[in-house]
Structure 1
Amino acid sequence: MVTVSRPETDGGARRAVFSPVDTRARVDAVVRRIGDAIELGLLADGEQLPGESELAGQLGVSTVTLREALMALRQRGLVTTRRGRGGGSFVALPEVPADDRLKERLRDWSTAELRDLGDHWAALTGAAARLAAERAGPAGLEPLRRTARELARAGDAAARGRLYGRFHVELAAAAQSARLTREQVALQGEVGALPCLVLAEDAYREEVADRHRRVVAAVQDGADDTAGSLAERCVRESTARLVAVRLTL
């Protein structure tokens, strides 16, 4: 059996993935929560999910609800199931759509909708950065540093997009707010792979990685306003670039 190492993300981000879901439309909520976590890379490709009883208990749903959700995730190609000894449910990291398919997806958004999304995203990320500067300890900062380093080295747009989204989730986790973390996971699921369209450019990737490092430094120094402003600026610039691409379609 191949041993798959878990991604080295902060425990706060992983705990948010496996915390109880909303009582409304629980099957959809489980599918969305786990699916978003897989697409962000918070759960590693090939990683085995907890057993059905354990996972249902963590998410606060019945095993029947969980099985329906796992079936939906299998249909989306995000989970595979193996039977017999060593079997269970395993993460299947999806391929990022080709550039032309991403542009087709971007075309579904109006520029007004993209700007509205950017406003919400910037507000959420800025609040998380400010709280992280007040609350985060050394253990909470290491996942952010690691993700920033990985982004600086990432060679393909798919990896860059996942790392970009993961940084924002880990920033919320560093704020020690389960609700903010869940909101950020959901938002990143809504954004999907669209940031790949702007992160493919090496110069911009380097700019983003540098700004992420500056956010981490500000959080470490307890400079809440600086951390918040830097985080908001990063989101607003990415959104503006997506809007610019959208205008060319």
Structure 2
Amino acid sequence: MTSEQPLPELHRAMYRPVREGNALEDTVARLAQTIRLGVVAPGESLPPERELAARFAVSRDTLREAIRELADTGYLVPRRGRYGGTFVADPLPQPPQPDPADLVDLDDVLGLRAVLEAGAARAAAGRALPPEARQELWARHEAAAAASEPDYRRLDSLLHLTIAELAGIPSLVPLVAENRARVNGWLDAFPLLPRTIEHSNAQHEKIVTAILAARADAAEQAVLEHLEASEALLHGFLS
């Protein structure tokens, strides 16, 4: 499995059934989250409509309406023909600036992120990870470290989601995904800073190394330090 391919469990977490009462809105939100988190990269295609409709437990008409909504806003590009399908736009549209009213929840969301992600790292470090999982985790780190600026946020998110997956608690992955999607919405409001990326990559290496060495305390502490750095940036740019 290459570093660009999300793990099957991550697909299952993102393409899970939506709520019946808000099927269209939830399908749009789930697809947007999938795009924003980089589970499907710019230029890549979504799964076939029939498969997506079945996974979301919605009708084909509802799925097509959701795809149209995201196509109209520039996030998806439907293509016809033998090699057609629904593709993620490349490049993606520039996200809007966050509404200041949304920032009221900033500390709440960041607090939840610390609980979820530090706990995920501790749990992952406490497990006997099989060789393929260990290789995948290191590959995610290397991919983020080598990422170009346009790809960095996506590959950074995939590394953190992989850690959540390796915790071995299936219901944790969608919680981390939803939380990171909210955080990324704020992070996207200001440019990536080269020196902070270098620091972030060094922290990623500490986290991954601690997990692979089964050092749960060190893994948890490394995640908390890593999250504190981005929290400082968020407060600096947005508060």
TM-score (norm 1): 0.82
2:184 to 150, 170, 192: 192
Q: Please state how far the C-alpha of 1:24 moved relative to its aligned partner.
A: 4.0
Structure 1 stretches of at least 4 aligned residues deviating more than 6 Å after TM superposition? none
3-state SS of the aligned residue for 1:20? Answer: coil
State the match for 1:45 in structure 2.
42
Cα deviation, 1:105-149, whole Å, max 9, x if unaligned, reads 274544x53222210111111121122123343322333322322
- Do the aligned residues in 2 keep the contact of 1:39 with 1:93 (CA within 8 Å)? no
Q: Please state how far the C-alpha of 1:36 moved relative to its aligned partner.
A: 1.1
Identity over aligned residues, as a percent? 28
CA distance in 1: counterparts of 2:11 and 2:146, whole angstroms: 24
Is 1:147 the counterpart of 2:140? The answer is yes
Q: Which amino acid aligns with 1:206?
A: E
CA change 1:86–1:246 in 2 (3 A) is closer
1:180 to 172, 192, 207: 172
Q: Please state how far the C-alpha of 1:218 moved relative to its aligned partner.
A: 1.5
Cα deviation, 1:76-118, whole Å, max 9, x if unaligned, reads 22221122333222222453638xx6xx4274544x5322221
CA distance in 2: counterparts of 1:173 and 1:27, whole angstroms: 27
Q: Please state how far the C-alpha of 1:187 moved relative to its aligned partner.
A: 1.7
3-state SS of the aligned residue for 2:46? Answer: coil
5 Å-filtered alignment, 1:102-113, equals 104-105=97-98, 107-110=100-103, 113=105
Cα deviation, 1:186-223, whole Å, max 9, x if unaligned, reads 22222235335677332221221111111111111222
3-state SS of the aligned residue for 2:211? Answer: helix
CA distance in 2: counterparts of 1:141 and 1:32, whole angstroms: 31
5 Å-filtered alignment, 1:18-29, equals 18-29=15-26
State the match for 2:82 in structure 1.
85
3-state SS of the aligned residue for 2:40? Answer: coil
- Do the aligned residues in 2 keep the contact of 1:41 with 1:166 (CA within 8 Å)? yes
Deviates further, 133-142 or 123-132: 133-142
CA change 1:171–1:73 in 2 (3 A) is same
Aligned residue pairs total: 237
State the match for 1:123 in structure 2.
115
1:69 to 66, 71, 77: 66
State the match for 1:235 in structure 2.
227
Q: Which amino acid aligns with 1:116?
A: D
CA change 1:24–1:220 in 2 (3 A) is farther
- Do the aligned residues in 2 keep the contact of 1:115 with 1:243 (CA within 8 Å)? no
State the match for 2:30 in structure 1.
33
Q: Please state how far the C-alpha of 1:238 moved relative to its aligned partner.
A: 0.6
2:157 to 159, 165, 168: 165
Q: Which amino acid aligns with 1:180?
A: L
3-state SS of the aligned residue for 1:178? Answer: coil
TM-score (norm 2): 0.85
